[in-house]
Amino acid sequence: MGDPLNPHDAVFRRVLGEPAHAASELRSVLPAGLVERLELDRLAPVPGSFVDETLRWRHSDLLFTVPIDDREAFIYVLVEHQSSNDALMAFRMLRYVTRIWDRFLVDHPKATRLPAVIPLVVHHHRRPWAAPTRLEDLVDLDGQAAEAVWEYLPRFGYLLDDLAVVDGPVLRARPLTPAVRLTLLLLKIAPGNRALAGDLHGWDEDMRAVMANNIELFSALLYYIQVVGETPIDDLHDLVAWLGPEAEKAYMTTAEMLRAEGEARGRAEMLVKLLTIRFGPVPQTALDLIHAASIDQLETWATRVLTEPTLQDALR
C-alpha cells in the first residue's frame, strides 16, 4: 500500500507515476506553447531516482520520456515534501538533470546532442515557495561584476507548481484527473489536519470518481489520510460511510493494514534491541532486512537471538 516512513513519497509515486495522471498535471502547469508541442499521450515513465541519497527523505522524483516535435525529450518531476524552502533547489535540479543526461549518454554512447529535459518542482506545504527558480540568481555577484561575467554563467531554471498558493477553486478548475486533484489536495491539506474529514466533504465528486474507476487507488489515498492526518477515527469513518459501502470497505481494509504494519514495526524495534544487546550495533543492511520482513519472519528471528552464535546466523 505504501511506505509509512515516507507516505508523501508513496502516494505521489502511486498516483503521479501513472502516465495518464501525470499528463493531466503537466497539461495544467506547463506553458501552453510547450504543451502544444509535447505528445503527452505518449508519456512513458522511466525507472529510477536521481535524488541524492541523503535527500530522499524530503524529495521524491519521477522521470518520463515524451516526444517533442518528433524528438525524444524528458520531463523530470520532483516533489518537495518539507515546509522549509531549499534555497539551492535550482542547483540541485541542475545536478539531477545532468545525471539524466549522464544516463542517456551511457545508453547512447555515440550521441552528439542531448535531449531536452523539462524540470518541474511541486511544493505542497502551507508556506509559499520563496527560493530562486533560476540558477543565475544563486551566483554571488551583483552590479558591474555580474554584468562582466553574465555571458559565461550557466542558464538554467525550473518550473514550479506551488500548491501553497493554489486555493480550492483554482484546483477544481484545473484539467486534472480526479485522482491527481485529490492527491494534490491531500498533499496540501492532510498532514496534521484534525478537521480533514470536514474539509473533504466538498470533494465527494472526485472521491466517488476515483472510487468508481480504481478502488485500489482510492484505498491508497485513504491509507495516506490515515497515516499523515490527525482526524478523529469517528469523523473519518463517518466520511467514508457517507461515500457508500465500497468506501467503507476500503477504509476498513486500510485500517487493518495499518494495524498490522504497526504490529510489525513494534516487533522489528524489539528485535533490533535484542540483537543489539546480544551482538552489538546492528548494521544498516540488517536493519533494512528487518524492517522489510513479515511478522512471521520477525518472530522466527526473535527465537534465534539467544541460541545462535552470530548476527548472521540469527537472521539467516
Chunk the chain into consecutive blocks of 10 residues (it has 316) and report each block's average pLDDT, rounded to whole numbers.
64 92 96 96 94 78 95 95 84 96 97 97 89 93 87 93 93 95 93 89 91 89 84 82 84 70 73 84 85 80 82 85
Strand order in the sheet with 159-162: 44-46, 59-68, 71-80, 116-123, 159-162
Question: What is the model's pLDDT at position 261?
Answer: 64
Angle at 23 between CA 22 and CA 25, to 5 degrees: 65
pLDDT of residue 9: 82
**Assigned C-alpha cell, 132:** 530562486
Cell numbers linked to 188: 496540501
Would you state the pLDDT for residue 142?
83
| Cα–Cα distance measured from residue 290 to residue 208, given in angstroms and rounded to the nearest whole number | 38
d(CA 302, CA 297): 9
Q: What 8-state DSSP symbol labels residue 162?
A: E
Q: Is 79 helix (H, G, I), strand (E, B) or coil?
A: strand
Locate cell 554512447: which residue?
109
The CA angle 201-163-169, to the nearest 5 degrees, is 45
How far is residue 43's CA from residue 250's CA, in Å, rounded to a whole number?
Answer: 30
- Do 98 and 119 contact (CB within 8 A), yes or no? no
CA distances from residue 263 to 121, 227, 291 in whole angstroms, order as listed: 36, 15, 12
Q: How far apart are CA 133 and CA 91, in angstroms?
A: 9
How confident is the model at residue 260, as a pLDDT?
A: 61
How do beta strands 71-80 and 59-68 pair?
antiparallel
Looking at residue 258, what is its pLDDT? 61
Exposed / middle / buried, residue 224 (Cβ in 10 Å: 0-12, 13-18, 19+)? buried
Segments making up each domain of the chain, as ranges: 7-243, 255-314
> What pLDDT is recorded for position 83?
67
What is the pTM (predicted TM-score) of this model? 0.78
> What sign results for the dihedral spanned by CA atoms 135, 137, 139, 145?
positive
pLDDT in tens, 227-266: 888 888 888 888 888 888 888 888 787 776 666 666 667 7
Report the pLDDT value the prediction gives residue 4, as an integer from 0 to 100. Answer: 46
Query: Taking the chain, what is the end-to-end CA distance rounded to the nearest angstrom?
Result: 27
190: its cell numbers? 492532510
